[in-house]
Amino acid sequence: MNNELRLILAIQKNGRLADDSRVLLERCGIDLLKSKDQLVCKAQNFPLDVYFVRVNDIPTFVAAKVCHIGILGQNVLLDKQINSSNSQLDSIEAIMKLGFGRCRLSIAVPNSHDYQGLSDLQGKRIASSYRGILSQYLGKRGVSAEIVSMQGAVEIAPRMGMAEAICDLVSTGSTLAVNGLKEVEIVLESQSILIRNDTLNSVQEELLDRLMLRLNGLQAAKTRKYIMLHCPINKLEAIKAILPGSESPTILALQGLENLVAVHAVCDEGVFWNTMEDLKANGASSITVLPIEKMLD
Ligand code: PRT
């Protein structure tokens, strides 16, 4: 098939973002062949080709127009943009936050360090794989420190006497704890994002719009719930006021029950146990809360 009529997406082949990226495509109704060793895959039911690559190469592929769009962590895009002299990287646009791969790039020091603030790092050595982001962060705050570049196992640098602090990605914090370190500054909050370049033709723009519509539908569904309940007619206004974020619920008659109606509503905010208790206290019964799989407004 003509490549001009297809969209090309780069996702991580193996690693922390790989499974979530594939699942996201599946949930958008896009069927990919499942082989783990494949480097390129044509979607079966959407004009989309998927390249499986290392996450650190995704900005370069998108900037070089080898791929039109990509899924990666904000930390990786920012790091590439700061470190590289390739001006094409600056034309990459982050178009959607995807909500997985959440982490923070943080500075950590040994537990024994009585940390008082950033000035403690003045003149010290900080081990990191994120030289660019870290030096920009320190520079903006007037801290001059030596950055010791390491590509992995950054956490052991203080124990080896190579640095007094580290700057690395943290999600649960257990790696820091195991290595006797404590998080003292958050340099960057990161999560997975969808990025694009500026060379899509009109067909590809339309395909990207369709993909984004599906992604938005999934995100909208994630934050909403479908709630069904029975309610005495004279309590309807009170019940509607309690339903979180629901503007116009559907009201249905119940056969053989003249004083009761069924209320169905899509609620914006989480429906918590205390909301359900409020509803019950105001006369609602048979309260059922259901997850929503997809939504198109
Ligand atoms: O090989 P490739 O280039 O594809 O990827 P990679 O090996 O560089 O990346 P990978 O799979 O390790 O991470 C991919 C992306 O996941 C990162 O760029 C981040 O955007 C995101 N991410 C989310 C993380 C973490 N959480 C994370 N915790 N990346 C790395 N870590 C590491 C961190 O470096 C540290 O070693 O996990 C350890 C800390 O974890 P906790 O849970 O103990 O705090």
Residue range 173-202, pLDDT digits in tens: 999 999 999 999 999 999 999 999 999 999
Cα-to-centroid distance, 242 and ligand 1 (Å): 42
The reported pLDDT for the residue numbered 86 is 83
- What residue's CA is closest to ligand 1, atom 1? 54
- What residue's CA is closest to ligand 1, atom 19? 73
* Ligand 1 and 168: CB distance under 6 A: yes
* Number of CB atoms found within 10 A of residue 45's CB: 9
Q: Which of 45, 99, 112, 34 is nearest to 73 (CA)?
A: 99
* Ligand 1 and 175: CB distance under 6 A: yes
Q: For 96-106, write each residue's pLDDT tens digit.
A: 999 999 999 99
Query: What's the whole-model pTM score?
Result: 0.88
- Atom number of ligand 1 nearest to Cα 54: 4
Local structure of 23: helix, strand or coil: helix
Q: Which residues of 104-141 are buried (b: 16+ CB within 10 A; e: fewer)?
A: bbbbbbeeeeebeebebbeeebbbbbbbbbbbebbeee
Written as six digits, the tokens of 210 are: 């369709």
Residues ≥6 apart with Cβ < 8 Å to 51: 8, 9, 10, 11, 39, 40, 61, 66, 67
- Atom number of ligand 1 nearest to Cα 14: 4
The reported pLDDT for the residue numbered 84 is 83
* Ligand 1 and 101: CB distance under 6 A: yes
Q: For 226-268, write each residue's pLDDT tens digit.
A: 999 999 999 999 999 998 776 689 999 999 988 999 999 998 7
The reported pLDDT for the residue numbered 294 is 83
Residues ≥6 apart with Cβ < 8 Å to 153: none
- Mean pLDDT is highest, among 9-18, 26-35, 218-227, for 9-18
Q: Higher confidence at residue 2 or residue 192?
A: 192
Cα-to-centroid distance, 243 and ligand 1 (Å): 40
